[in-house]
Amino acid sequence: MIIKKLLRDFRQPRHFANEHITSLKKANPELSVIDVGGGVRSWCPHTTHIADIFIVPGSRLALEKNNPKLTIYELDISQRDEWKPILEHVEKNGKFDYSICTHTLEDIAYPNIVCDMLMKISKAGIIAVPSRYIEYARFERQYAVKGYK
């Protein structure tokens, strides 16, 4: 259940997310932030965990090399049973303080699973999706991933 809705001008969503999470980090230096679907380009320098499928060869290795403190969960976020390691982490350590899920839900088969899981694993967060026009203007061949919309 979404309990709070904040409407903002998201023409610069990365800036907004970084600014907001930086302010949270000042208040809580141990802030835990999970980027769901963020892959190698997380929206926030304060990301502590990433959950994604890593379709680009070598991308996970490069991410681990450049961010040794980052915890990475490699999974298909649209499959409920694959969330088990993250749910176990939450059961052991408590919910993440913040979650980021940006420009991901429009690309997966079951976005409702991700929305459900985000509420189970985090206290607060940001979800951003592009406009319908922007999505229809892109093509599969641009991303070299069959079925990508």
Q: What is the pLDDT of residue 13?
A: 59
Q: How far apart are the first and last CA of the chain?
A: 27
For the chain, percent of residues with pLDDT exceeding 70: 73
pLDDT tens digits, 59-81: 788 888 888 888 999 999 999 99
Q: What is the pLDDT of residue 126?
A: 86
pLDDT tens digits, 94-145: 999 999 998 888 888 899 999 999 999 999 998 888 766 666 666 555 555 5
